[in-house]
């Protein structure tokens, strides 16, 4: 799989905010921004995969200096068209390796963005890149789902996650490689469209090992942005690692 491919081109960016409307609701955004603002304190923040600014804009509205890295010109164009975007700098490129100017007290990825890197090597590179951007004592935060493999009976590799009239979405897993894809089929006025976005799912313990490779230390892990305990039944997690003080 190509870790450097842009799967969020114009056709996705044009409808991204509406298709992910639930994630733009205040009850989804504000708890995340609360945590990130607290971790950033009076230091700057760097968002890897800044997209259309769902988190970056309200975080900047809290007085945090925010910069972003993103591969998709189409997504960033939507960000730049929004009020307040003039306060946010963006560096274009693959967030696994692209360097932004300066250093930061907080680096973060949200909404499963780490899985957009479709190889383990790229995910490890991302941790190293985050660590290279962090000031001593700074935090690296990832929000990502727990792989939903318990829903796969033997011999099955697909799990539907949306079955609305005229719109279907299915995750397809390869448990041998940890590659997966989210596949979307929509039918409107007798015409169908299909798109597929590749990912690589990753386990919490695997992320901890990547952090260790990058010389980052575990700080916290919650089931969500509210700080609920992470358990065997959690379907997602917010994990925080810290660069040691020098």
CA distances from 54 to 21, 45, 63, 137, 167 (A): 10, 14, 16, 26, 24
Tell me: pLDDT of 2 over 60: no
Please indicate, yes or no, whether residues 15 and 124 belong to a single structural domain of this protein. Answer: yes
pLDDT (tens digit per residue) in 95-124 = 999 999 999 999 999 999 999 999 999 999
Q: How far apart are CA 157 and CA 172, in angstroms?
A: 6
Domain assignment of residue 1, yes or no: no
Residues 75-80, mean pLDDT to the nearest whole number: 97
Q: Do residues 68 and 155 share a domain? A: no
Do both 68 and 163 map to the same domain?
no
Q: Is residue 64 domain-shared with residue 83, that is, in the same domain?
A: yes
Residues 65 and 104 in one domain: yes
More confident residue, 50 or 21: 50
Cα 40 to Cα 59: distance, rounded to the nearest angstrom: 10
Question: What's the pLDDT score for residue 4?
Answer: 58
CATH code, 39: 3.40.50.150
Neighbours of 42 (CB within 10 A): 8
pLDDT band for 244, please (50, 70, 90 cuts).
very high
Percent of the chain with pLDDT over 70: 98
154 lies in the same domain as 230? no
For the chain, what is the domain count? 2
pLDDT over 70 at 137, yes or no: yes
Q: Can you say whether the dihedral through the CA atoms of 133, 135, 137, 143 is positive or negative?
A: negative
Overall average pLDDT of the 40-53 stretch: 98
**pLDDT bucket at 21, cuts 50 / 70 / 90:** confident
| pLDDT on residue 11 | 78
Neighbour-count burial for 191-230, b at 16+ CB within 10 Å, e otherwise: eeeeeebbbbbbeeeebbebbeebebeeeebbbbbeeeeb
The chain-wide mean pLDDT, for the chain, equals 95
Cβ burial, residue 70 (10 Å; 0-12/13-18/19+): buried
Bridge-based pairing of strands 217-222 and 236-242 is antiparallel
Give the whole-angstrom CA distance, residue 228 versus residue 40: 20
| Strands lying side by side in the sheet with 158-164 | 158-164, 167-174, 179-188, 191-200
Using one digit for the tens of pLDDT, what is the confidence trace for 195-218?
999 999 999 999 999 999 999 999
Which residues are CB-neighbours of 163 under 8 A, at least 6 positions away?
A: 169
- Residue 3 is assigned to a structural domain of this protein: no
**Structural domain that includes position 172:** 149-197
Same-domain status, 117 and 180:
no
pLDDT score at 9: 77
Once rounded to an integer, what is the mean pLDDT over residues 147-169?
92
């Amino acid at each position: 799989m190509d870790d450097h491919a842009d799967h969020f081109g114009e056709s996705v960016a044009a409808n991204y905010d509406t298709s992910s409307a639930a994630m733009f609701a205040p009850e989804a955004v504000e708890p995340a921004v609360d945590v990130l603002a607290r971790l950033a304190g009076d230091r700057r923040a760097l968002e890897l995969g800044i997209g259309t600014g769902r988190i970056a804009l309200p975080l900047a509205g809290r007085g945090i200096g925010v910069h972003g890295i993103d591969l998709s010109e189409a997504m960033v164009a939507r960000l730049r068209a929004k009020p307040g975007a003039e306060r946010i700098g963006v560096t274009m490129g693959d967030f696994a390796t692209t360097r932004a100017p300066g250093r930061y007290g907080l680096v973060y990825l949200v909404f499963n963005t780490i899985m957009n890197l479709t190889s383990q090597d790229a995910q490890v590179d991302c941790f190293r890149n985050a660590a290279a951007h962090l000031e001593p004592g700074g935090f690296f935060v990832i929000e990502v789902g727990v792989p939903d493999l318990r829903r796969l009976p033997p011999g099955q590799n697909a799990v539907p996650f949306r079955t609305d009239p005229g719109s279907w979405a299915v995750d397809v897993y390869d448990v041998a490689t940890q590659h997966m894809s989210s596949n979307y089929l929509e039918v409107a006025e007798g015409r169908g469209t299909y798109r597929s976005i590749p990912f690589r799912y990753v386990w919490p313990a695997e992320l901890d090992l990547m952090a260790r490779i990058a010389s980052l230390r575990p700080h916290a892990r919650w089931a969500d942005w509210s700080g609920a305990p992470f358990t065997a039944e959690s379907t997602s997690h917010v994990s925080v690692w810290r660069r040691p003080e020098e």
